[in-house]
Each structure stands twice: as structure tokens, then as C-alpha cells.
Amino acid sequence: MNLLLGAWTIGLIMALLAVGVFISFRVFGMADITVDGSITLGAAVAAVLLVRGINPVLATLCGFLAGMVAGTVTGVMCTRLRINPLLAGILTMTALYSVNLRIMGKSNVSLASARSLGSWCETWGERWFHGSQVPVAGYVAASRDVAMLAAMLIAVSFVSLLLYAFFKTQLGTAMRAAGDSPQMVRALGGSVENYQVIGLALSNGLVALSGALLAQYQGFSDAQMGIGMVVWGLASIIIGEALTGGHSLGLAIVGSIMGSVLFRLVVALVLRWGLNPNDLKLITAVFVLVALVLPRLLQRRKAAATA
Amino acid sequence: MSVMLSLNAIRKTFNPGTANEVRALRGVSLEIEAESFVIVVGSNGSGKSTLLNAVAGSFLLDEGSITIAGQEVTRWPEHRRAKLIGRVFQNPFSGTAPAMSIAENFAVAARRGQPRGLSWALSHRMHAAIRDRVQGLRSGMDDRLDNAIGSLSGGQRQALTLLMATWLAPKLLLLDEHTAALDPKSADKVIELTREVVERQRLTTLMVTHSMQQAVNLGDRLIMMHKGEVFSDVRGAEKKRLRVDDLLARFDAVRRRECLDDSAAELLRKTYV
């Protein structure tokens, strides 16, 4: 039961990462590797502030803002300095590795004794359920974990709704159009370059937000925690698209969230069955590769069959 | 009548100093009055589309200046000029965002050249206004406003792009061979719509076409281009009298003069070198 609760919670936290990657990858068609650095950046900024005793909500928001700055840097590199988007992402990610170490002062920061969303959930959980343990569907679970899951569910729903609303505004609609047909948006007076920068800022802000929450859930932030995260996000999006067939914006966002949770559940199960955790990233990468190539292969086969 | 667009000796060379050097515009000067409908024709590589793109700001000029409605826009980037200009492209895919709905495309067009903020793109009023305009096309698309534009035919997309470009009346409407990629029937429909929209809104229009028929039937002024220069500019009663044969004759004359130039040069070379 604890395993499932944990998988659900991490899945929800990582859903914000997935939604962030959705913006860069699906809305603007860019593979933005800044993500690997900005998730750690969000965690590092939040952790350092929490250790200093800053209010957890404020610290989390600062993580979000730091991510937006990182995204802006990548965005400016792509648009103003005309650097290949992939390379721009690599540069920012690499630079962020040092920045994160500077922010934390060491390779990891423990939140064990700090006041964080994690410790808040512990208090809330005990107050709601009158004890440190609570029965869930016939199993015993830690009330902290249940409270954490509830908190994340609320946070992720809120952020996703906000994002959905944003993409329905004049600015958000123009941004989506800029990814879909840049020439049209230019002809209609929109600066595609500015929209790309805003998009990357928003994307990395969400990724960093996810990092800030993750640090508080697991109780530490670590310089290595971002490795391979962009692939994780891609996997979630792809699973989401398969689940919802998501062509509309709302379905795509909901799909990314569902994809993230489902992916985490599957990972928890296969680890439980004895999969070596070291192989996880290899398997994730292969999964994304297959998922990207498979539709094209099927299409070719179909074309060959009809020809 | 007031001048809406003025080009002052504009020049543009692509890939200068390389084997692929193209002198696309070789000093074109032009004044276009408000509310006139100007047709631009020319052979392939004559610079007619380049002329339109220069006005739209797709690239910056090497020399010369451009003034639209009294504002000098020579150094303005494309998206800033869009405040003054409505455009329809040759490629139906360029003018619309295929994955987005008809209504959303219009919502983006409705803010052409204006700041885009955080209010809803598609208010009820906006939705109703879009339905009204699309209904005017009498093509049944008003029932499908929430469908992706990518599911429509090229002709339908060009018709919608034209409505989008003129949603806010532009100072200048640029049509870049906007029927060239369509089948004849759709092309006729789009041309009919073009005539209607331009007349109703009394738009100053610059239209590039490859079709001599369109060049003769439409507009009140005709500009013919060859090798980056304007060689003929016909308007008023003379434009009305012009027939397709006259056009072809003029193009022939230019080409013959050129052959003469080349063969004369060859003759001189043989004699003296």
C-alpha cells in the first residue's frame, strides 16, 4: 500500500514535469534538455530556502521562478542568438549543474529537520486521521503519505487548470498558433520569438516547480536528481496520448498527468518484481524510442498494404 | 488621392558574392494610391513575390525605403508591419494553424497588430462574430467552427485566411499568388471572394498572380515585372481595355529586346575580342 501511495504521489509531482515538457515538445516542437537542469534547480532553490526557515509555499514559488529564469536563458539563446535549440538546452543544462552545486553549497541538502510541505503534511495527516497511521482499503498507511497525496492532487489540479486557462487566453492562443504555424502568427503581428521564450520559461518553471515539490516529498535535494528527466517527461506525454488520443488541449494536459502517474505505477511494480533500478533509465529511453518510431512504422506498413 | 504605399528605389540581392547570387530587386520605385487594387504579374524569377515579401518585411532591404500609410517601415520587423498589413500566402498551410480550430484561428487574427493579453481569446461575442462572418461564405463551415482547420480543403483554407487577414481592415492587403495552389474551381471561388472583400472594405490591395486572365479581369492597375524591375505600369482606361493577348505581346517584346541585347553583345565580342 505504501508503495502504491508513493507511486501515485511521485506520479502526480512528476505530472508537472510532464506538462512542462508538453509545452516545449508538443506546443513548440522543441526537445528542450534544459529540463534535466531546471528540475534540480527548483529542488535546490526550494531546499536551501527551506533550510533557512522560509515559508514552504514561498520557497516552492521561488523554485518555480528560478526555473522560469533558466527557461528564459535557453529561450534567448535559441531566438536572439540563433543557437540550435537542442544545443541551447545542453548549454543551459550543463551550466545549471554548476549553478545548482553553488546554490546548495554541496552535492545534496537534507530537509529532515526543516519545516517543509513534507513536515506540514505530517502534522495535517496526524490531525485529520488522529494518529500517524490510517487504514486505507484494508491496509495500513502512514497518514503523512495520505495527506501528501491529497495535497499534491490539489496542487497539480490547480496548476493544470491554471495552465489550461492560460492557453485559452489571447496570449496563450497566439503562443499555440506560433508553434503550429509560425508564418501565420508573424503575418498576424505576433512575435514568434517572444512566444518561444515565454513558452520555454513557463515550461521550465513548471519543471522546477515539480523539482521543488519532489525535494520536499523525498526530504532532500540532490545534484544528480535531474538526470534523464526530460525522457521521463516524454514517456509520460506519449503514454498520455495513447490513453486519451489527445488532440484537444485539455485532453493532452490530462493525458500528460495520467501518463505520468501510470508510468510511475508501472515503474514501482517492475522494481518490486526485482528489476535492477540501474536499468531503469535504459528501459525508459528504449520505451520512448519505440513509442516515437512505432507509429511511423505502422503507417509505412499500412501504406505498403494499400499500395 | 493619398498615397498608401510608396517604394523608393528598393534593392535586394540574395546570397551576394556567391555563385548563387540573385539580384531579385534592382531599384523598384512605386507609389500606390489608397483604395486602388494593383495586380503584379511577371515571369518566374521576375521578383514579383520578392516585391511583396519586401513590403511585408520577410527580409530587410539592401537599399531604398518603404512607407506605408505615411509611416516609414523600412527597418520594422515582419510582425510589427503586420499592424498595417493583411496577407494571404500561396501555400494554404502558411496562413492558418492546422491543428487549431477555425474559431481559434480567427481569435488570433482578430488581434492582428494589437497587444495580446490575458483575457479570453474566444468570448461568446467573439464566437458569434466569427460565425457571422464565416456564414457569409455560404459554405457550411459555420457549423464546424470548432473543427481543426487542417481538416479543410486548400480552397476553404484560403477563403478563411482572406477573411482572417481582413478581419481588422488592413491599410494594405497583400495577396501572394493566393490561388496558385488551388484547383480551377476553388481558385474561381477565392477570386470571387477576393473581389467582394476588397470592394466592400475598399482595401488598398497588391496582388501577385501568375494568371494572365486574373491580371486582365481584376484590379484597376497592372504592373509588369521582369528581372527585378518594373517594365510596364498600366492604369485607368488603358487597364480596362487590356486583353490577355496585349499582355503576352508586351512580355514578348521585353524578351525579344533582351535576346537582341545578348546577340548584339555576342556579335560585338566576336568582332572585337
Per DSSP, A189 falls in state: T
Nearest residue of chain A to residue B98 (CA atoms):
A180
**What's the pLDDT at A1?**
67
Structure confidence by residue, pLDDT tens digits, A76-94: 999 999 999 999 999 999 9
Least confident of A118-132, B43-57, B179-193: A118-132
Contact A264, A11 (CB under 8 A): yes
Pick the CATH number of B3-232 from 3.40.50.2300, 3.30.56.10, 3.40.50.300, 3.40.50.970: 3.40.50.300
Question: Could you tell me how many helices (H) and strands (E) chain A has, helices first?
Answer: 12, 4
Average pLDDT over residues B179-185: 93
CB contact under 8 A, B100 and A180: yes
| Percent of chain B clearing pLDDT 90 (strictly above) | 73
B82 chain-A contacts, CB cut-off 8 A: 186-190
Chain A residues in contact with chain B using a Cβ-Cβ cutoff of 8 Å: 166, 168-174, 176-177, 180-181, 183-192, 247
Q: Check whether A149 has a pLDDT greater than 80.
A: yes
Q: Check whether A306 has a pLDDT greater than 80.
A: no
CB contact under 8 A, B112 and A189: yes
Nearest residue of chain A to residue B174 (CA atoms):
A187
Selection from A68, A75, A82, A13 nearest residue A38 by Cα? A68
Average pLDDT over residues B239-244: 88
Name the B residues in 102-161 with CB < 8 Å from any A CB: 104-105, 107-109, 111-114, 116-122, 148
Structure confidence by residue, pLDDT tens digits, A213-245: 999 999 999 999 999 999 999 999 999 998 887
Q: What's the Rg (C-alpha) of chain A?
A: 20
Q: For A158, what's the count of Cα atoms within 13 Å in the CB-facing half-sphere?
A: 7
> What average pLDDT does the structure give for chain A?
92
Q: What are phi and psi of A282, to 5 degrees?
A: -60, -45
Name the B residues in 39-68 with CB < 8 Å from any A CB: 56
Least confident of A29-33, A82-86, A136-140, B39-43: A136-140
- Strand (E) or helix (H) holding A220: strand A220-222
Q: What is the pTM of this model?
A: 0.90
- Cβ of residue B28 closer than 8 Å to a chain A Cβ: no
**What's the pLDDT at B1?**
63
Q: What are phi and psi of B175, to 5 degrees?
A: -115, 115
Q: For A19, what's the count of Cα atoms within 13 Å in the CB-facing half-sphere?
A: 31
| Percent of chain A clearing pLDDT 90 (strictly above) | 69
Separation in Å, CA of A105 to nearest CA in chain B: 39
Please name the member of A172, A181, A190 whose beta carbon is closest to the beta carbon of B94: A181
Q: Check whether A298 has a pLDDT greater than 90.
A: no
What residue ranges in A44-146 does DSSP mark as E strands? 108-110, 133-136, 139-142
What is the residue extent of each domain of chain A?
2-225
Least confident of B68-77, B154-163, B255-264: B255-264
Q: What is the ipTM of this complex?
A: 0.88
A167 chain-B contacts, CB cut-off 8 A: none
What residue ranges in chain B does DSSP mark as E strands? 3-14, 22-33, 37-42, 63-68, 71-72, 85-88, 172-176, 205-208, 221-226, 229-235
CB contact under 8 A, A190 and B80: no
